[in-house]
Amino acid sequence: MALFIKNANQLITMEGFSNAPATHGQMKEISVIENGSLLAENGKIVAVGNAGELERSHSDIIQDAKVIDASGKIVAPGLVDPHTHLVHAGTRENEYAMRLKGKTYMEIMNAGGGIHATTRATQAASFDQLYQESERRMDTFLRHGVTTIEAKSGYGLTLEHELKQLEVAKQLNESHPLDIVSTFMGAHAIPMENKNDPELFVDLVIKEMLPVVAEKKLAVFNDVFCERDVFTPEQSRRILEAGKAYGLIPKIHADEIEPYGGAELAAEVGAISADHLLKASVEGMKKMADAGVIGVLLPGTAFFLMAAFADARKMIDCGVPVALSTDANPGSSPTLSLPFIMNLGCLMMGMTPEEVLSATTINAAHAIGKENDIGSLEHGKKADITIFDVPNYLVLSYQYGMNHVNTVIKDGVPVVENGQLVI
Ligand SMILES: [Zn+2]
């Protein structure tokens, strides 16, 4: 099956960064084709250019292709969300109300709420309940133009329930058009019962959970929450090094609440990304840049926790390749809208409209090791494409809190049309 998208006001290709992520000024190089068209066949991109050119060079394919007229709109790579906690049970609006009355996120968590509350709900949930709740979230991601997400475990905190979360993600990846790349995050929190002996839980993650997750091939990445009162840098290092021995690539929730050496640790263990980084030191940023660690920034979390935002400008100036993500989770970032995160990137972190596009496409693809398949509109890549009903890309980061998605193409097939799911 062939697909011909033609005459877009702007076609944003993001080409040229599949080998290495965009850094520094490269993050502004989004490659716009005015009046652009794209041809796909069998789920892959064949060519981009202007309509007349493509009609001459590929008339054989185009004559049988489904045609989408994108005039007046922009065409972009399907958005990539490199950090989500997709699979979990329930919501925590009660804690939101408590925070509005003055309690802090860490106070609520240390009193047994926060991650612990979602852990109890997730442990109690059946496979089917988790599957259905998560599937609805995936539908919403698609409607907001996202075609691939990373999804973490970490609300199970026992072998049985961590596996349940990862199995749900695996099955959803197979049955739903949205693609999922899975991360094991047994070290998301220290369970209440291990509060006085966290080393015991670290041993449990390393000796009981990691081997089984790796053997069942349920995850590509291994993530830890490196933060005071959660996992120390030393514990985080042990867990990440142990994962590496099983072929799991490190990721880190780093320097979210206070500077704690997470950015530095990410560089030292060869993490693919360090995420959050609200309080990362400049030294840590430089080490990340030297080691090629992607900085995944989650401004939805700072927004929702009413905290200071990460210093994206300094990070980009230090040479860190920056990506953006929702951090979709029920406690600190209950949103599924990556376009809103793009708005926050511009308005609250000083990024340019071009940089937030790089950060949610090709750099986000690098942050989950998918840069050869997705993140740009280039020959041979997956035909994962989002068409926004805006006349130019500036409007995307200018009009906020609205969903501009008109059409989403996944593997060459429309899955959203006129803003509605058609799956
Ligand atoms: Zn997270």
pLDDT bin (cut points 50, 70, 90) of residue 83 is very high
Q: In the sheet that 249-254 helps form, which strands lie side by side, from edge to edge?
A: 79-81, 146-152, 179-187, 221-226, 249-254, 273-276, 294-297, 322-324
Q: How far is CA 198 from CA 187, 190, 203, 262, 302, in A?
A: 11, 6, 9, 18, 27
How confident is the model over 67-93, as a mean pLDDT?
98
Least Cα distance to 130 among 153, 113, 108, 109 occurs for 153
Give the distance (Å) from ligand 1 centre to CA of residue 274: 11
Amino acid at 4: F
Give the distance (Å) from ligand 1 centre to CA of residue 253: 6
Question: How much is the pLDDT for 109?
Answer: 82
Give the distance (Å) from ligand 1 centre to CA of residue 252: 9
Question: How much is the pLDDT for 171?
Answer: 98
Under DSSP, is residue 363 helix (H, G, I), strand (E, B) or coil?
helix
Under DSSP, is residue 162 helix (H, G, I), strand (E, B) or coil?
helix
User: Both tokens of residue 210?
Assistant: 């990691």
Least Cα distance to 131 among 96, 173, 91 occurs for 173
Give the distance (Å) from ligand 1 centre to CA of residue 26: 27
Q: At residue 58, does pLDDT exceed 90?
A: yes
Give the distance (Å) from ligand 1 centre to CA of residue 31: 31
Give the distance (Å) from ligand 1 centre to CA of residue 189: 11
Give the distance (Å) from ligand 1 centre to CA of residue 327: 5
CB of 217 closer than 8 Å to CB of 225: no
User: Both tokens of residue 111?
Assistant: 């009193």
Q: What is the mean pLDDT of the chain?
A: 97
CB of 8 closer than 8 Å to CB of 387: yes
User: Both tokens of residue 173?
Assistant: 């990846």
User: Both tokens of residue 353?
Assistant: 């409209």
Under DSSP, is residue 227 helix (H, G, I), strand (E, B) or coil?
coil
Q: How far is CA 175 from CA 17, 135, 178, 392, 411, in A?
A: 30, 10, 9, 34, 14
Question: How much is the pLDDT for 257?
Answer: 87
**From the CA atom positions of the chain, what is the Rg in Å?**
21
Determine the Cα–Cα distance for residues 25 and 30; give it in Å rounded to an integer.
11
- pLDDT, one tens digit per residue, over 297-310 is 999 999 999 999 99
Give the distance (Å) from ligand 1 centre to CA of residue 33: 35
Give the distance (Å) from ligand 1 centre to CA of residue 85: 6
Give the distance (Å) from ligand 1 centre to CA of residue 27: 24
Question: How much is the pLDDT for 378?
Answer: 98
Give the distance (Å) from ligand 1 centre to CA of residue 46: 36
Q: At residue 80, does pLDDT exceed 90?
A: yes
Q: At residue 358, does pLDDT exceed 90?
A: yes
pLDDT bin (cut points 50, 70, 90) of residue 237 is very high
pLDDT bin (cut points 50, 70, 90) of residue 317 is very high
Give the distance (Å) from ligand 1 centre to CA of residue 79: 18
pLDDT bin (cut points 50, 70, 90) of residue 111 is confident
- pLDDT, one tens digit per residue, over 3-30 is 999 999 999 999 999 999 999 999 999 9
Question: How much is the pLDDT for 266?
Answer: 98
Give the distance (Å) from ligand 1 centre to CA of residue 129: 22
How confident is the model over 111-121, as a mean pLDDT?
92
Question: How much is the pLDDT for 110?
Answer: 82
Question: How much is the pLDDT for 206?
Answer: 98
Give the distance (Å) from ligand 1 centre to CA of residue 83: 6
Question: How much is the pLDDT for 185?
Answer: 98
Give the distance (Å) from ligand 1 centre to CA of residue 395: 28
